[in-house]
Amino acid sequence: MTKSKRRSAENWKEIIDDFLKSGMLQKDYARDHKICRATLSTWGKRLGIPLNTRGGCSNLEKVSALPMSFIDIEPLRRIKETSALKIEIVFTQGHTLKLETEGSWEETGTLIRSLVG
């Protein structure tokens, strides 16, 4: 029985790069290069390099080869930062306070907290 050769992570990265460029199936590449197919797959996962079962380019390389572009779009409608507010507060003493104003929800909350608190 022959002792297997220990390879560094850098060596496995080179082997995997060569495999991806070869266009071969993992089992064929492993047989031709006298390496274990499972070890090739394990090192691919360990190094974070996706291996196609059919060889060739990895999915990551295919995606990164696509041209990227951005399309400017206009919003469908402009969101108002303020809106018309109608507030009616009836106090326990029988008084009613009616307010009609324009403001943000944050301002409305501040107003109500100051009246109640």
On the question of pLDDT at 81 being above 50, the answer is yes
Between 72 and 24, where is the model more confident? Answer: 24
Q: How confident is the model at residue 50 (pLDDT cuts 50, 70, 90)?
A: confident
The string of DSSP letters for 63-100 reads HHHS---------SSPPPSSEEEEEEEE-TTS-EEEEE
Q: What is the pLDDT of residues 4-40, one digit of tens each?
A: 678 888 999 999 999 999 888 999 999 999 999 999 9
pLDDT reported for residue 55: 45
More confident residue, 105 or 46: 46
Tokens, residue 52: 């196609």
Number of H helices, E strands in the chain: 5, 2
CB 56 within 8 A of CB 20: yes
Q: Which residue has the higher pLDDT, 63 or 36?
A: 36
| pTM beyond cutoff 0.95 | no
Q: Which of residues 63 and 113 earns the better pLDDT score?
A: 113
